[in-house]
Amino acid sequence: MRHASPPQELPAAGGEIQAALAPATASSARAGARGGGGGGSFTALLGLPTSQAIELLLPRTAPPPALALAPAPAPAAAPAPAFPSDPHLVDRAARFSTFAPPSPSSPSPAPPPPPPPAAAANAGKRKADTVDRASKGKAAKKGKTAEEKPAGGDGDDEKPAYVHVRARRGQATDSHSLAERARREKINARMELLKELVPGCSKVSGTALVLDEIINHVQSLQRQVEYLSMRLAAVNPRVDFGGLDSFLTTECGRIAGFNCKNGIDLEQVTWPEMGVHGARQLMQLQQQFWHGDLAHPHQVASQWEKRGDGHPPVFSNSNPSLFGYDLTSSGKSFTQSYIFLTEFSCLSLTSHISAWLGPRLLSLTLSCQHSLEKKMCTDRRTLPVGADGPNPINACPEPETISPPSFCLGLAA
Amino acid sequence: MRGPNTKAFQQGFLKNMILSLQACSEFCISSSASGGAAMMSLQQRKYAIKSSADIAMATARGRGARWPQAVLASSSSPSRRLSKPSSSPGKKKNTRVCKKIVRRCLHTWRRSRGGTGGASSLARTRTAMICSREIARRLVRKRTKVLRKMIPGGELLDEISLLHEAVDYVAHLHAQVDVLRRISNAVQRG
């Protein structure tokens, strides 16, 4: 920003600058006539394509055509190289261009038609105004076109809004209505999504009826869940589904990699059940967990072969990934649910089964909980915030650790 | 693991559900270890299955939505029946408010009809239109309130996020129903 030379030379350079402006607009007008002036009558008035008009109007970029042409018509003028890059200078130049007599016979390579100099004058004035107003900090959302009043905007407000949101022809341009329109568009977009999701909604029009359908659908889904759980409860005299493990292995299928990791996780996590077989096997599992010691893979493998899975060969592969939290392969949400569930099972052990398994188990669960929390914290730090919006679930570890015992207690209530 | 219709999500959901059911059963066993074989009633079992399914779905969802947190919070707090007694006076209030609204609309409409008397049908239709717009707005607001109650965690959300959560929740409910149906079929078969 060079302020030294411009102030003195501006009165003299006003004519040169207008000359610089005029050929710029003229040349771009020639280009713009080919390029199609879509995007509002203002830009059509200006004779420029929308992009160039935006460049002219927004303060941050100096008009490149002026940049290109400025050295040529005014080689002797000292501020000429400085002129294009200084928005303030452009402002003053614009203002001076309005004061200078708008002579169509200004020295320019091509005879500019009468509207462009007047348009340039208007553009200059408007440019100055928009620069002044825009610099006040209104967020530039989209294009401009808040000033299409003189171009024949019918139904526009009389006061230009300078808010830089695209206002269509024939619509109000004050900030309230624009914000309302943005909000309405968001709501309509979400309603479209819901309409796609809920069957039978596509032919219904109107927000109230669509909402009605959505409510009915959600109610029916919840009722279906209740009915299915009632059916499941009626089939089994007991709540635990032992046969579901085999169901799980058949259902999981043979998805390579992911399946193995999941299978391992499940097996390692269901050590509450394995604990029924004896504390000794639990100690082995403890070793595997916390020391990464694969000294006894065979005993563990034998346990797994009981279930008929082909997991032992892949145990060594997945163990480092398990503790290194290889997130990219399996997805973040699953490892987090895994974390939650291990804590869940840990705490259920702590509160209910530790009595008959002994103090060793208690320390095991506590250490399990601590290291898992630590890992979760580091996990969350390394995780990029992939969730959309705020992350209230960041606070989840604490409620999650507190909730399972009360969940178990709540069941008895 | 994007989207509730992927197989990965369903697998995760299955595993979570199995784990939570096992925890439930062990809790039952341990709590009734001294008192002999106290089997849970059908209602209790159904509730256990349903809540474990909800929790499984919520944990399998992971980050990215607010309703899992609400589901987990509601399942952990033992106060579940507190909302029931408050609903009946609320309903009466709602019907009273509805009646008032309808009466007001009718009054304005009758007044406008009597006042203009046929001189300006335009004014009449305009007031009728305004009435209908008001009614539509009130209907939408009522339905939004109902939707808020149904979606977990929806009480605190504004309209836009409420609709977003509704989309998410409906998709996951579909998946949950699917998985539960498959489980019940499999259990029945073998």
Q: What does pLDDT average to in each consecutive run of 10 residues of chain B (190 residues)?
A: 65 76 73 59 76 76 70 65 48 65 71 59 72 89 90 85 88 87 82
Assess whether pLDDT exceeds 70 at residue A355.
no
Q: CATH code at A214?
A: 4.10.280
A198 within 8 A of A216, measured Cβ to Cβ: no
Cα–Cα distance, A10 to A17 (Å, whole number): 9
Interchain CB distance below 8 Å, B59 and A409 = no
Bigger pLDDT: B123 vs A94: B123
Q: Which residues of A touch B187 (CB under 8 A)?
A: 232, 235-236, 241, 243-244, 247
Domain membership of residue B182 (yes or no) is yes
pLDDT of B33: 62
Domain membership of residue A243 (yes or no) is yes
Tokens coding A132: 């002044």
Mean pLDDT of chain A: 53
Token pair 């009522």 is at which residue?
A: B142
Residue A373 CA, distance from chain mean position: 28
Interchain CB distance below 8 Å, B170 and A222 = no
Domain membership of residue A189 (yes or no) is yes
- Chain A residues 321-360 with CB within 8 Å of chain B: 330-334, 336-337, 340-341, 344-345, 348, 352-353, 355
| Burial annotation B35-57 (CB, 10 A radius, 16+ → b, else e) | eeeeebeeebbbbbbbbbbbbbb
Chain B interface test: which of A267, A333, A357 (most B C-beta within 10 Å):
A333
Give B80's Cβ-side CA count (13 Å radius). 16
Mean pLDDT confidence for A114-143:
44
pLDDT digits (tens, 9 = 90+) for A7-51: 454 445 445 545 544 554 444 444 444 444 444 455 445 555 555
pLDDT of A236: 73
Tokens coding A251: 């259902």
Q: What is the ipTM of this complex?
A: 0.73
Nearest-CA distance from A397 to chain B in Å?
A: 11
Mean pLDDT confidence for A136-156:
41
pLDDT interval class at A326 (50, 70, 90):
very low
Number of CB atoms found within 10 A of residue A82's CB: 18
Query: How many structural domains are present in chain B?
Result: 1
Tokens coding A181: 């329109």
Q: Which domain holds residue B64?
A: 1-31+38-76+134-189
Q: Which residues of B touch A388 (CB under 8 A)?
A: 64
Q: What is the pTM of this model?
A: 0.43
Q: Which domain holds residue A232?
A: 176-255
In degrees, to the nearest 5, what angle opens at C-alpha B74 toward C-alphas B72 and B78? 120
pLDDT interval class at A221 (50, 70, 90):
very high
Chain A interface test: which of B40, B69, B76 (most A C-beta within 10 Å):
B76
A219 within 8 A of B150, measured Cβ to Cβ: yes
For B37, nearest residue in chain A (alpha carbons): A238
Cα–Cα distance, A383 to A379 (Å, whole number): 6
Nearest-CA distance from A330 to chain B in Å?
A: 8
CB of A149 within 8 Å of a chain B CB? The answer is no
Number of H helices, E strands in chain A: 20, 0
The share of chain A scoring above pLDDT 90, in percent, equals 5
pLDDT of A24: 47
pLDDT interval class at A220 (50, 70, 90):
very high
Question: Helix B7-31 and helix A397-412: axis angle, to 10°?
Answer: 50
pLDDT interval class at A219 (50, 70, 90):
very high
